[in-house]
């Protein structure tokens, strides 16, 4: 009885510590998880078998389907969300950049904060081990966030929370410590298919299934070819880095979501004011200066120029080099 009480108290203190670090929502799941984790894992394998990952071969890592491979003896997981919605608009007639990348590199922001939480947990339980996971880790991250109750996976494959909608990035802290789990989130998309209807390339060809080969976000961020497919360029509009269309039409993002005041997600000026001419004319060194400390570094300077030229139906970039 005393052990259970101590576990409950530690779990609440851990979640409160996460909230003090600016995370909200927060939740806990028990490893290896319930039946839904098994179903999500099977769905991932079907998605891979269909080739929906395009050339993102890291999605095939076996550890993504077996959380115990990430931390030996893992018993629990803390899932955290960071709201990145800021009530700001880009300047008219400028290029569009996905909101998650408006501020600082969220990978480093989440890692830094989770590291402080991990060290705190270690101070409370000196014998415990822990590991930080962000979306660069081979973890079924949205499924585990759903298991921990911080949101459900929507038909657009984004994690959706009642309060924050889908405007949040997520992270996880795996630990060998026994913690008290929260209730898994219940899916609340209902019959709505706004995201499927709005996707300009029909990349969401059925609920919960995204074909990366048709996704604007994949092509603007991950595609390393010197030119983009015509079926992508004909639908890009002004999206030059990622795409928020399926989130912008989501009814759960129509509610009065609180604008974040977290300094790490406040937009960089250039992100809201980037013109097509700038994106094409900036040389590599200028792009590197602009991208310093940003998650957008994944898009190389030559890719920015390629993407910018592809907006408004431009098809080629003379002399482009990787």
Question: CB atoms < 10 A from the CB of 69, how many?
Answer: 14
Marked catalytic residue, from 55, 105, 135, 141: 135
Q: Whole-angstrom Cα distance, residue 241 to residue 179?
A: 39
Give yes or no for a cis peptide into 279 (omega within 30° of 0).
no
Q: Hey, which residues does 12 pair with through a beta bridge?
A: none
| Calpha distance 102→200 (Å, rounded) | 23
Q: Is 135 a catalytic residue?
A: yes
The whole-angstrom separation of Cα 110 and Cα 236 is: 30
- Give dist(CA 280, CA 275) in Å, integer: 9
Per the CB < 8 A criterion, the answer to whether 271 and 97 are in contact is: yes
**Residues with catalytic annotation?**
135
């Amino acid at each position: 009885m005393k052990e259970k009480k101590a576990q409950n108290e530690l779990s609440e203190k851990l979640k409160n510590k996460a909230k003090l670090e600016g995370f909200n929502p927060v939740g806990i799941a028990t490893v290896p998880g319930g039946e839904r984790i098994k179903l999500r894992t099977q769905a991932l394998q079907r998605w891979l078998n269909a080739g929906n990952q395009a050339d993102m071969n890291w999605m095939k890592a076996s550890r993504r389907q077996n959380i115990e491979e990430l931390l030996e003896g893992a018993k629990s997981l803390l899932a955290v969300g960071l709201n990145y919605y800021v009530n700001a608009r880009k300047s008219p007639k400028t290029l569009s950049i996905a909101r998650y990348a408006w501020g600082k590199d969220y990978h480093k922001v989440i890692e830094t904060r989770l590291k402080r939480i991990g060290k705190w947990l270690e101070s409370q339980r000196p014998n415990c081990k822990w590991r930080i996971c962000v979306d660069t880790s081979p973890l079924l991250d949205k499924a585990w966030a759903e298991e921990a109750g911080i949101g459900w996976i929507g038909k657009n494959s984004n994690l959706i929370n009642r309060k924050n909608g889908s405007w949040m990035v997520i992270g996880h802290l795996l630990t060998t410590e026994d913690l008290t789990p929260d209730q898994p989130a219940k899916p609340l998309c209902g019959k709505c298919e706004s995201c499927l209807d709005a996707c300009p390339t029909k990349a969401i060809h059925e609920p919960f299934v995204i074909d990366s080969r048709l996704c604007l976000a994949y092509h603007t961020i991950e595609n390393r070819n010197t030119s983009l497919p015509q079926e992508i360029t004909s639908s890009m509009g002004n999206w030059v880095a990622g795409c928020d269309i399926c989130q912008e039409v989501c009814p759960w993002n129509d509610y009065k979501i609180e604008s974040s005041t977290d300094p790490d997600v406040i937009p960089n000026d250039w992100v809201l004011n980037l013109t097509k001419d700038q994106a094409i004319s900036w040389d590599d060194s200028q792009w590197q200066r602009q991208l310093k400390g940003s998650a957008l570094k994944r898009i190389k300077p030559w890719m920015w120029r390629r993407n910018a030229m592809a907006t408004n139906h431009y098809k080629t970039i003379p002399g482009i080099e990787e």
